[in-house]
Structure 1
Amino acid sequence: MTPAVTGVAVALPGAHDADGLLRPAPPAAGPVDPAAVIGRKGLRFKDRATRLGLHLAHVALTDAGLLDGGRPTVPGDRIAAVVSSNLGNADTVCRVAATIAEESTSALSPMDTPNASSNIIASETAIRFGLRGPNLTVCNGRSSGLDALRWASVLLRAGRADHVLVTGVEPDNEVTRRLVGGPVADGGAAVVLSRTTAAARPARALLGPLVRTARPADTAAALTRRRPDGRLWLGPGPVPPGARRIDLGAWGELSGALGVVQCAAATAVFARGGGHRVVHALAGAAGAALLAPEPAR
């Protein structure tokens, strides 16, 4: 069973769909406004990463044909949610820790403390959209986004879900900038992976081999051996001679969102045509081959 990418969402300053990832990042683009897409109701007291995650989830689930009127069109217990975010609620955690250190736990806001949960983006997504399948967050550095896709694939192959919403998102704020030493992308992407027999919409791409080794160079070499026809690469990292890199670095530090943004960008490559059948993604020591969807018969 090869998972199909049936829904895609992109929310980055200056890029509001997958095709926007293949264009130069516009200078001084305004920030993404989740309220403009999903309304203000339910966003109050949510941190920036959670608001962005809800925005992405709404668009991706709708694109996959799994959401209508804010509720799932298929049984909610067959839709899982996997989130990748390394920096997501770091601002909330730091603020809560500082409040406790300076005043005591009695000074904490009851509206703020739930946002300190490491799984807050995934759990809020599940609550808002009625997703009752497995629910988890991956947070392990640059490879996190592709690892989230791998876990989504495992859930599908194991029959735990028919669809998995995979969201990669990072916020830009004073805390995250301090942690990474510069601007953060302030957004991300989401994709819906579906079992092909359960897909409500045609595939945008297929998730081919996923590889993880000790070193990025080894991962790149392993992907090339398994899918030698791939000539487009989504870095950062080493690429084989003759391959053309698609650079996503102009969007800022993507961190945990990187792998999911790469997957979204691959769907745009296939939509543009040009005969490309494989796009390789490399993020840290994790790599994935995204395959062009099968032509309609």
Structure 2
Amino acid sequence: MSTDRAHTVFVTGTGLAVPGLSGAADLLGTAPAEGGFDPETGLTGRDLRHKDRATRLALRAVGPALEDAGLHDADDGFTADPAATAVVVSSNTGNYDSVCGYVDTAALRGSRALSATGLPQTSTSGIVGWIAINYGLRGPTVGLGNGPAGGLDALHWGRNLIAVGRAGVAVVVGVEPHNDVVARLLGTTAVDGAAAVVLESAEHAARRGARPRAVLRGYGRAPGLDGAVRRAAADGPDGAGLLLVDRLPDEPPGTGRVLDLQARLGHCSGALGVLQCAAATAWFDRGGRGPALATAEGTDASVALLLAPPDAS
């Protein structure tokens, strides 16, 4: 990845819809903060009608992220160029309950019993489509469902869409719901939450006076975790002050703080990388020094992403 100013991509906003957590800073703690997000009350409202749980979680994370970045307000709505704003979503189990529900209804009661209002939820592009529709975004839209590495891959896709000039802003979301279908499939508890990160080109952020919070520095994908880490760190400074992992690589870059979000939140799957990015951003906000390294091991490859504080761009 190029690190020259013309291709620099900043994180300018984060948002969460994770039970018990109020914002990205809570990811750095050891226990959920009181008064955090409550799905029982947070996933209701007219704007969420006829949408599946994953979509509702995603929308509840995107709103705070856009507000945090200064790109949305109650009076003017979305304040950037909708045609130059991309949406990238990573989710592996997001619509499984909708698909299984449709199949069961068709098998037991026939096709006439199917509801047209639920049909969009059976599409893998449903989540990304609803986000774009809700905010009137007309830039590129990408949905990923490629396993635990999907969240970091989604950030890489968002960064590349900006770097090649397809967008000035990218809204990147990772979401995984928890329900009976997911529980039977995974055999464990999913995070039942979403994280959203706003990425902007350095030029776009400077033009509107946005505060950079983190910079994406390096990305690596390889068959093994250590190979992915070496590729991600090739263009970055030595060492890492924060390691966002569920398994340490054999050769960790430095001896910084280790943060395992899955041990605390449950199975994060495609949401993991975006949650890691949000946590790294909060760490930089608190004065964390040195880069942050996020890793995820997929079924076909491992992925690593290096983030640095904004003054390192």
TM-score range, shorter chain: over 0.9
Q: CA RMSD in A?
A: 2.2
TM-score, structure 1 as length reference: 0.93
Picking from 204, 228, 246, the partner of 1:236 is 246
1:278 maps to: 291
CA distance in 2, matches of 1:121, 1:35: 20
Q: Which runs of 4+ in 1 moved over 6 A?
A: 27-31
Where do 1:170-209 residues align within 5 Å? 170-199=176-205, 200=208, 201-209=210-218
1:243 positional shift: 4.1
> 1:28, 1:175 → 2: CA distance?
29
State the alpha-carbon separation in 2 of the partners of residues 231 and 163 from structure 1.
27
Q: Please, which runs of 5 or more residues in structure 2 have no aligned partner?
A: 1-6
Query: Does the aligned pair in 1 maintain the 2:244–2:294 contact within 8 Å?
Result: yes
The CA distance in 2 between the partners of 1:28 and 1:294, in whole Å, is 33
**1:144-183 equivalent positions in 2, closer than 5 A:** 144-183=150-189
Q: Deviations over 1:60-90 (max 9, x none)?
A: 1111111123722122101110000011011
Distance 1:204 1:186 in 2: 26
Deviation at 1:138, TM superposition (A): 0.7
**What pairs with 1:71-150 in structure 2 (closer than 5 Å)?**
71-150=77-156
Partner residue of 1:246? 259
Q: Which residue of 2 is the match for residue 48 of structure 1?
A: 53
Match of 1:5 among 8, 11, 18: 11
Q: Partner amino acid for 2:59? A: L
Determine if contact 2:229/2:304 at 8 Å carries over to the other structure. Answer: yes
* 1:27–1:98 Cα change, 3 Å: farther
Separation of aligned partners in 1, 2:81 and 2:41: 27
User: d(CA) in 2 for partners of 1:295 and 1:144?
Assistant: 26
Residue type at the aligned position of 1:126: A
The yes-or-no answer on 1:264 pairing with 2:278 is: yes
Contact 2:26 2:32 in 1 (8 A): no
TM superposition shift of 1:216: 1.7
Residues of 1 paired with 2:59 and 2:29: CA distance?
Answer: 25
Between the aligned partners of 1:246 and 1:64, the Cα distance in structure 2 is 25
Measured after TM superposition, the shift of residue 6 of structure 1 is: 0.6
- Asked whether the 8 Å contact 2:12–2:198 carries over to 1, the reply is yes
Contact 1:25–1:251 (CA under 8 A) maintained in structure 2: no
Q: CA deviation at 1:98?
A: 1.1
Amino acid of the structure 2 residue aligned with 1:73: T
Task: Quote how far apart the aligned CAs of 1:151 are.
Answer: 0.6
| Letter in structure 2 aligned against 1:237 | R
What 5-or-longer segments of structure 1 have no aligned partner? none
Moved more, 231-240 or 132-141: 231-240
* 2:25 equivalent to 1:19: yes
Which string of whole-angstrom CA distances, capped at 9 and with x for unpartnered residues, describes residues 25-76 of structure 1?
A: 3399986338648x71221121110001111111111111111237221221
Aligned residue pairs total: 294
